[in-house]
Structure 1
């Protein structure tokens, strides 16, 4: 097991990684093995088949937790983080299976977290992400009425933000134990946002590290609508996106600023998914089912027959 600090680093937080698998290909497995050469790595596998680490192709350095079923991103992250807490780690960096972290990122996130913790209570810190298919580095985000405030990732000073995507986020595990685990009922989509909202409500900062980057593909192949590229997803993912948005809009602790922007986006998303993605009726039907289930409180994994 690796300790917290990478060789030559100045930080003392014992930092491990959590990678969530779902039907990984050989490139995903190779990335996890490379990560395990640098720091302690827990792989939580949501693939439906049950295999050993060696059968999957993972090295002996990886701590492998197979679920034998898709229990959702929230549950998988909770399992991985619990494993790191039990092993005495101070921080956890979360990754999707297709994320390729640089050594600069792995060195920089724990160092910046430790520096920030000397000044304030911090829940997590994360990089700006770049999706080469969308052609740009995504801005950091603050909530605003009717419109999100987008903050360019420039400079070296950490930026106070309202939420970060989970992949690439470095979580202070002391804060995690106060905030609580991620919401299993959400299953996928808005899981990271909901946790950040809870953390900020408890007085913790969420920080963006503008000098760090993570290559990350958001959704499926982008679709172009009126000259602008939008991330696309499967009909099932659109079910969870709409259902969880409705579920969070109903929760009192979620800021009205975020609720207002989501309500504005609803008709535009329905139009894009229903008109520009194939199969049109499939996307529209799943989105509307998600809205209904959000309204009646049907959460967890969607049971499909």
Structure 2
């Protein structure tokens, strides 16, 4: 922590690996220059930090199998808690945080915590050039999401933030509870934010901060609009977890209504515009069924 002698904030970083390439390793090596860094590797083939070329200062956790994003994040956060960190910056392996973001986000959390001890999460606006630039922040609304342009410098009350680039207040981590392991992937961030807000904690967007982040695979253009592209297995989790969350009492009806509107549209897009069509359709419907009967965990 010698790089930040004036700080009361003791931030740490968690990065989740899955079949990382050299660029992922290089990003992690840059991150540890700013704050202590835990890399949790969900790759099926167990490796070592030195074999991957990771900086010796990185705390490397090799799971040897894919335990899902929720479990990996929980493992990393618990290591930062044990190390005495006060906040955790969470990143996907392909996120490109700037030096400015790594500096400003923990400072923003420290400043906000002084005003509001019940702040759970703060995150930047993310920028994905493939999907049309800077994405708006989101609040839930009846039948459709309310989008809030990331302008100005005041923190914005939002209903959820994507995991990557978000800064968790570790002082309230135990009160809210960990990410839900059984969701595995998709809607893990949304469920945690909804649970935090249901318990009276704040989720805040920082409109002045930016993270370059690619959401999903190659986008699919449908009637002039870009949609994030995923493989059929991801669409299984998306439908399953959305269905599972719709059944829960603490999840707001405003979000449930938007998902019920989106589901048939998604099903049509995946089944018509994404290949292989049958695999996308079959796994989406299987996810819907598993969500209804309560099956969770890995597919």
- TM-score past 0.5 threshold: yes
In the other structure, the counterpart of 2:283 is 286
Q: Secondary structure at the match of 1:106?
A: helix
Residues 210-241 of structure 1, C-alpha deviations (whole Å, 9 max, x = no match)? 01110111111001111111111000000000
In the other structure, the counterpart of 1:201 is 198
Question: Counterparts of 2:233 and 2:47 in 1: how far apart (Å)?
Answer: 26
Deviation at 1:118, TM superposition (A): 1.8
1:23-172 → structure 2 map (5 Å cutoff): 23-120=19-116, 121-172=118-169
> Does 2:268 correspond to 1:271?
yes
Q: Secondary structure at the match of 1:92?
A: strand
* Native 8 Å contact 1:274 1:284 kept in 2: yes
Question: Counterparts of 2:200 and 2:109 in 1: how far apart (Å)?
Answer: 16
Provide the aligned C-alpha RMSD in A. Answer: 1.0
Q: Secondary structure at the match of 2:227?
A: strand
Alignment match of 2:4 (pick from 4, 7, 14): 7
1:158-197 → structure 2 map (5 Å cutoff): 158-197=155-194
Deviation at 1:30, TM superposition (A): 0.4
1:196-235 → structure 2 map (5 Å cutoff): 196-235=193-232
Q: How many pairs does the alignment contain?
A: 298
In the alignment, structure 2 segments of 5+ residues that lack a partner are none
1:225-264 → structure 2 map (5 Å cutoff): 225-264=222-261
Deviation at 1:12, TM superposition (A): 1.4
Q: Secondary structure at the match of 1:130?
A: strand
Q: Secondary structure at the match of 2:115?
A: coil
* Structure 1 length-normalised TM: 0.96
Residues 145-170 of structure 1, C-alpha deviations (whole Å, 9 max, x = no match)? 10100000000001000000000000
* Structure 2 length-normalised TM: 0.98
Deviation at 1:178, TM superposition (A): 0.6
Q: Secondary structure at the match of 1:69?
A: coil
Deviation at 1:115, TM superposition (A): 1.3
Q: Secondary structure at the match of 1:133?
A: helix
Deviation at 1:135, TM superposition (A): 2.1
* Native 8 Å contact 1:11 1:110 kept in 2: no
Q: Secondary structure at the match of 1:12?
A: coil
Deviation at 1:192, TM superposition (A): 0.4
